[in-house]
Amino acid sequence: MPRDLSKNVVPKEGVQGPAGPQGPPGEGLSSSDVVPGPQGPQGPQGPTASISNDADNRVTTAVGDGTLNAEENLTFDGSTLSVTGEISATTLDIGGTDITASAADINAISSANPISSGSIVNTDGFIIRDDDKMTQVTVGSLTSFFESSLNTLNSVTSLGILTSLQVDYIYINGNTIGYLSDTDLLTLTSGLLTVAGEVSMTTLDIGGTNVSATAAELNILDGVTSTAAELNILDGVTST
């Protein structure tokens, strides 16, 4: 009997054939083919906002129940915002410059702020106007300025009334003039100078006439009342 070999043969896959030609493009839709649907009906009108306390230039704020309130203490006329009351802000800007001073710093210059009794040292500062701006200078700078200005004073024509004055070691207080601890060495009254101490001089003038007698010669006349001319007669006298 002949053998059927076809049952034992495994068929092989053939090679892929060439690609077929591209088909024609499909039909698309252009923008002109899109037709809008009909417009829906208009919705009902919303409720009219209610403004309480309405007045010219008042700024309105929301109340929270769908109504508005025209603020009596907050107005704006197109250029000026006016607030009657308190403003709370995290940053205050004036002319494009932030104010970095704290509220406590600003309150320190208020007249209602209590005056401190602390001591003043050279490193403390004062606020002064420097040309067109305000700035701080130290006490030491002011001290140097005043000392320099006083040193260059040419003349003082008026000083007002001083009740006391100290110039180096000289003290003037009321009608007394003194030196260091002896502050009342000289006392001045109308037409009289009282010296609470000793007078040292090179020439003694009495009534316009110099006294030429020496102190030793004058001591001879202890208790005698004489004029300056009479005293001058004794010039050179050594008798007792």
Instruction: Report residue 52: phi and psi, to 5°.
Output: -90, 150
| Predicted local confidence at residue 43, as pLDDT | 87
| Predicted local confidence at residue 188, as pLDDT | 94
Does 3 score more than 70 pLDDT?
no
More reliable by pLDDT, 65 or 194 = 194
The residues, ordered by sequence, that sit 6+ positions from 209 with a Cβ below 8 Å of its Cβ are 228, 229, 232
Does 191 score more than 80 pLDDT?
yes
Does 65 score more than 90 pLDDT?
no
In 3D, which of 193, 168, 171, 194 has the Cα closest to residue 181? 171
Average pLDDT over residues 31-36: 72
Distance CA 208, CA 228 (A): 9
Task: Tell me which amino acid residue 91 is.
Answer: T
Provide the mean pLDDT of the chain.
83
| Predicted local confidence at residue 54, as pLDDT | 92
Does 101 score more than 90 pLDDT?
no
- Give the bridge partners for 126, in sequence order: 137
- Give the bridge partners for 179, in sequence order: 170, 182
| Predicted local confidence at residue 230, as pLDDT | 75
Report domain extents, the chain.
162-198, 201-240
Q: In a 3-state reduction of DSSP, which class is residue 72?
A: strand
Rounded to a whole number of angstroms, the distance between the first and last alpha carbons of the chain is 201
The residues, ordered by sequence, that sit 6+ positions from 129 with a Cβ below 8 Å of its Cβ are 135
* CA 170 remoteness from chain centre: 39
Residues in the chain: 240
The β-bridge relationship of strands 204-206 and 176-179 is unpaired
Cβ pair 173, 163 in contact under 8 A: yes
0.85 cut: is pTM over it? no
